[in-house]
Chain A
Amino acid sequence: MSSVAWFKDVGIADRPTVGGKGGSLGELTQAGIAVPPGFVVTTSGFETFLEALEARAPVRARVAVLDPSDLGAATKLSEELRRRVIEEPMPAEVEQAIRAAYAELSPNGEPVAVRSSATTEDAEDASFAGLQDTFLWVLGPDQMVARVRECWGSLYSIESMTYRLKHAIPEEGVAMAVVVQRMVDAMCAGVMFTRSPTTGDKSVITIEGAWGLGSAVVSGEVTPDRWVLGKITGEISVRDISDKHARQVPAEGGGIHEVANEAAIATQPCLTDEQLMALREVGRRIERHYGKAQDIEWALDQAGNVLLLQSRPETVWSAKDAAPIAPVAANPLSHVMNIFGGRK
Chain B
Amino acid sequence: MSDPKSFPLPSDLTVVPGTEGAQAAYPYYTQFVPEDDGKFWFYNSMHFPEPMHHFDMITAEAAYVALGAFNTRVHVLPTAKGIEHRIINGRVYIGGVAVTDPEEIAERVGEFQQRAFYYYEHWERLYDQWKVKMKALIADAQALPRPVLPDYEPLETVHSGKGIASNHALLDIYQKQIEGYHRMWHHHFEFLLLGYGAYMTFFDFCKKAFPEISDQAISRMVAGMEAEIFRPDEEVKRLARRAVELGVDRHFTDEMDIETVLAELDKVGNAGKEWLGELETSRNPWFNVSSGDGFYHYHRSWQDDLSMPFAALPGYIEKIKAGTNIERPTAQLIEERNQLVSDYRELLDTDEDRATYDQLIGLAHRVFPYVEGHKFYCEHWYTNLFFNKIREFGALLRDHGFWEREEDIFHLTQYEVESAIIDLMLAWGVGSEPRGPSHWPAIVAQRAAAIEEWAKHPTSPALGAVPDVIDDPAIVMLWGITRENLDSWLNEGSEGDPNELKGFAACSGVVEGTARVVKSVAEIGRIRQGDILVCQVTNPTWSPIFQKIGAAVSDIGGSMSHMAIVAREYGLPAVVGTGSATTRIKDGMRIRVDGGRGIVTILEDEPVLEDA
**A residues at B contact (CB < 8 Å):** 196, 198-204, 228, 230-233, 235-239, 273, 322-329, 331-333, 335-342
Contact = CB atoms under 8 A, between A and B. Distances in A.
B595 to A, nearest CB: 9
Interface stretch (B158-166, B211-219, B254-262): B211-219
- For A235, A329, A336, A342, the residue with the greatest tally of chain B CB atoms inside 10 Å of its CB is A336
Contact of B201 (A232, A327, A338): A338
A328 B508 CA distance: 33
A196 B360 CA distance: 25
Given A230-B213, A340-B112, A333 B363 contact: yes
A235 to B, nearest CB: 4
A340 B359 contact: no
B356 A339 contact: no
Given A201-B212, A329-B359, 6 more contacts: A196-B212, A233-B216, A235-B216, A331-B117, A335-B205, A339-B201
Given A325-B353, A340-B197, A237 B204 contact: no
A277 to B, nearest CB: 12
A323 B505 CA distance: 30
Contact of A202 (B108, B200, B210, B596): B210
A341 B76 CA distance: 12
Contact of B360 (A235, A237, A332): A332
B83 to A, nearest CB: 16
Contact of A324 (B117, B120, B352, B360): B352
A341 B80 CA distance: 9
B79 A335 contact: no
A322 B200 contact: no
Interface residues of B, number: 52
A232 B344 contact: yes
Nearest to B349: A322
Contacts of B344: 203, 232
Contact of A236 (B105, B121, B211, B596): B596
Nearest to B99: A341
B350 A342 contact: no
Contacts, number: 137
B78 interface: yes
Contacts of B214: 230, 233, 235, 237
Contacts of A336: 116, 120, 197-198, 201, 363
B597 A333 contact: no
B205 A326 contact: yes
B99 to A, nearest CB: 9
Contacts of A325: 205, 208-209, 353, 356
B210 A335 contact: no
Interface in B73-95: 77-80
29 contacts: A196-B211, A196-B212, A201-B213, A203-B217, A203-B347, A204-B212, A230-B217, A231-B347, A232-B217, A232-B347, A233-B220, A235-B596, A324-B352, A324-B356, A325-B209, A326-B353, A327-B356, A329-B356, A332-B363, A335-B205, A336-B120, A336-B201, A337-B78, A337-B109, A339-B204, A339-B473, A340-B77, A342-B78, A342-B112
A239 B594 contact: yes
B103 interface: no
Contact of A342 (B109, B212, B340, B360): B109
B12 interface: no
Contacts of B200: 339
Contacts of A331: 117
Given A235-B508, A239-B596, A341-B78, A328 B212 contact: no
Contacts of A228: 212
A340 B349 CA distance: 27
Interface string B318-358: 00000000000000000000001001100101101101100
